[in-house]
Amino acid sequence: MTVTIFLLKTLRIIDLESSYRTYLSKERGGKDSENIIQIIKISGIILIVFQIILAFFIFPLIYFNFLKDKIYFHHFFPSVWAAIFHSVAATNNAGFDILGKNSLINYSHHYLFCSLLLLGSLVGGMGFPVIYEMFLYFKKKISSQKHFFSTYFKICILGTLVISLIGFLSILFIEYWYSFKETNQYFFRKIGFFNSFWEIFFSTLSTRTSGFSIIYSENFHPLSLVIQTILMFIGVCPSSTGGGVKVPSLIISFLGLKNFIQEKKHLIIFNKLISNKSQLFFLFSTLSSLTLIVVISTIISFDSDLTFFELRKKRE
C-alpha cells in the first residue's frame, strides 16, 4: 500500500503548475495540453524504469548483508521488498526507511548504499519537464540532431548546482571553523575530514530533497541548521516529487526584485524575456510561503520556554 501511494505520487498530474507548463509550452511552440500529456507519459515511464533499476542495485547490498542487517540477510523476499521500498521512497523524496529505529544513521559510512538513495532523491527532485528534456536531448543525440535546452531547463539545472554548492561550502566552512573553537567536537575532530566531508555533503543534498538523515541534527552547529532550513525552504524543481518553493521561483523572484531596485524594465535570463506577470507570480508565491513559515514558527515558539540554541545546549 505504501509503495503504491509513492508510485502514484510519481505520476501526479495536479502538481504540473500552470505557470511552468505554459512557460515550457511557449518555448516548445506546441499546444499546452499536448505538451503536458507527452511530458507525463515519457517522464512517468522513465521514473518507473529508474526505480526498478535502482532497486536492482540496492537488492544485493541488503540480501548479501553488506549492510550487516540480520533481518534481511539471505532472506530473498524481505530483501526484494526492502530494495523496492527504499528505491521508491528515495525517488519520491518520501524520506522513509525500514532499517530500524536509528534509520540511516547506522549506515552513514556505507557510501554505496547512501549514494544510491541520494541519486534517487536527486532524480526525483529534477521534475517531469527536466527529465523530459533530458530524454529529448539523448533522443536527438542518437539521431545526430542538435537539441536546444529551454530557459526553464537551464534555470533548474544551473540553479540547483549553484544553490547546492553554496549550501555545502557554507556548512563545510562553519563546521570546520567551529571545530577549532571546540564548540563542535563531532565534525573533523571525532570522525575525521573525509567522513565529515561526506556527511555534510549528503546532508546538504538530502535536506533539499528526501530528508534522509545519516547524522543526528544536534551534531550540526546552529548556523549550519539555519542554512539547512533555508535549503529546505528552497526545495527542488517544479513538478517533481520534492517540496519547497522551487528553484525557478526563488531565482526569478530574486532577479526580478534586483531589476526593480535597479529600475530596469525587463528581466532577461539566458536571452529569454520573463514577463512581468510571471515575475509577480513567482515573487508572490515565494513571499507568501515565507510569511506562512514565519507565522507558524512564531506560533510554535510560544509552546516552548527555551530558544532553539538553549534547547540544543540542554540536549548536549
Express as a percent the part of the chain with pLDDT over 90. 34
pLDDT of the residue at 68 = 66
pLDDT the model gives residue 172:
93
Average pLDDT on 76-90 reads: 91
pTM of structure = 0.81
pLDDT for the residue 67? 62
Among 86-95, 97-106, 169-178, 250-259, the minimum mean pLDDT is found in 97-106
Q: What is the pLDDT of residue 285?
A: 84
pLDDT above 50: residue 213: yes
| Highest-scoring range by mean pLDDT, 102-106, 159-163, 276-280 | 159-163
Q: Pick the more confident residue, 97 or 307.
A: 97
Residue 216's pLDDT band, with cuts at 50, 70 and 90, is confident
Q: Would you say residue 303 has pLDDT above 70?
A: no
Decide if pLDDT at 282 tops 70.
yes
Average pLDDT over residues 295-304: 76
Mean per-residue pLDDT, 163-184: 86
Higher per-residue pLDDT: 167 or 262: 167
pLDDT for res 32: 55
The residue ranges of every structural domain in the chain are 2-315
The stretch 124-132 carries a mean pLDDT of 92
- Rounded Cα distance between 59 and 76, Å, is 9
Of the pLDDT bands very low, low, confident and very high (cuts 50, 70, 90), residue 28 is: very low
User: What is the average per-residue pLDDT within 54-78?
Assistant: 81
Whether residue 313 is predicted with pLDDT greater than 90 in this model: the reply is: no
